[in-house]
Structure 1
């Protein structure tokens, strides 16, 4: 990766320039049997569309606070990179009442209504499916995002030294986030071509780093597993082999 990259959006651009066809995020939900694999190019396209939704339709500006009420999921990873592309501060499991916008999954819809700003709901269904019935008070992400543009340009440049992420009560600038991701990936031995399997949640830095930022910063990829505790030891071993996993966290 480019050593001059200072934001997660920079890291994604470098990954796209280096090898757009390689896998970046492979997602499993062991409660539903879902498997989704996104190449760098496909992931970047989702990020661009989501960033356009965020900046355009939702009117988000750099420094705005977005309460991200989602589990570890490939769509959560997309939203984190979209926030970084616009300059919006992603507050993982943040307080909706104090946020400018909220993005909520099915289990957090009632909680998210405390946000007085724009609200977006994600069904988290296989293949990015819609809610059977649109949730009251929310825009359905799966309805709103397909028509967004495939390329994104921020209205104003993102300040790498500005606030970027809040997780576990700690606030990090984009530059701090990127630096820490590189350092922690190096400590774990993650490098170009590494495949990291993780079942950690996104509600703490360790899970975010293993499940997104570390592999992205190091030129690797992630096998992100939700409900991994439902998998038998033999099935897990088979997954590690079939996905060519090099590291487990």
Structure 2
């Protein structure tokens, strides 16, 4: 069975992914038939570029609070892993109270204009959700960072990354916080029981099908992130479905069966 990562788990998890670089680690099914498959190498590449942006543009590190206002989506996974890689804090919305953004240093969002005067545009990162987007398709406040254009300009190799503090907050949702050193324990306790690895002997790495209960909200994203961390902590992989795909499959059992078999899901 794979050894448990260190007290600050995300750097160790990313290193594990790149040790088997060609293996699929995150497969996304989105609207309109969109399917994206990220190998360990590609996922780490996305995270690395995003880490470099966070550090070079926002000096992110321990104590930096980053609001991740994204739906359950593969880009939300990348941004959250990047925030944790620099030892910073992922803040998630409790309901639709956008005023929490005022206490954050950076806001990563797919709806930048929703924050109005709450956030200075220089602290906004606008994320386009379509896989092939080269620019944010919508109103963008002057001074905000267009992630679709910016992330790809950063290096594929980590430059300088702050030393994480194991006791610092990794995740904040409502009145609850989770420290970096407790992320894997939180993930193991917090994700839906149906997403637990089917093979507990350790002879087969889990491939989890994640069907979020709804498409938006901090609690939904927290549940997805817990499932992802649990899978990667067991040297596994995930298949993540968009909210509308979940709805479609709920009325098409045969299509869902084909997806599960085709993706070699071990637990759903």
Regarding TM over 0.5, the answer is yes
Q: Go from structure 1 to structure 2 and tell me whether the alpha carbon gap of 1:70 and 1:196 turns closer, same or farther (over 3 Å shift).
A: same
CA distance in 1, matches of 2:48, 2:231: 20
CA contact (8 A) 2:113 2:139 kept: no
| 2:187 corresponding residue in structure 1 | 181
Q: Which runs of 4+ in 1 moved over 6 A?
A: none
1:32 maps to 2:37: no
> 1:94-146 CA distances to partner (integer Å, 9 max, x unpaired)?
6211111100013x531275223511001101234422356124211011011
> 1:40-74 CA distances to partner (integer Å, 9 max, x unpaired)?
11000000000000000222232111111001111
**201-210 vs 32-41, greater mean Cα deviation:** 201-210
Aligned length: 244
Q: 1:111 aligns with which of 109, 112, 115?
A: 115
TM-score (norm 1): 0.88
| 1:225 corresponding residue in structure 2 | 241
> 1:163-192 CA distances to partner (integer Å, 9 max, x unpaired)?
11113542101110123335668x723555
CA contact (8 A) 2:18 2:40 kept: yes
- 5+ long unaligned stretches in structure 1: none
**Please, what is the CA RMSD of the aligned residues?**
2.3
**52-61 vs 189-198, greater mean Cα deviation:** 189-198
TM-score (norm 2): 0.82
| 2:208 corresponding residue in structure 1 | 196
CA distance in 2, matches of 1:234, 1:112: 45
| 2:17 corresponding residue in structure 1 | 15
User: Could you say what secondary structure the match of 1:215 adopts?
Assistant: helix
**123-132 vs 69-78, greater mean Cα deviation:** 123-132
CA contact (8 A) 1:25 1:39 kept: yes
Q: What is the CA distance between 1:150 and its match in structure 2? A: 0.6
1:246 maps to 2:266: yes
| 1:122 corresponding residue in structure 2 | 127
Q: Go from structure 1 to structure 2 and tell me whether the alpha carbon gap of 1:164 and 1:97 turns closer, same or farther (over 3 Å shift).
A: same
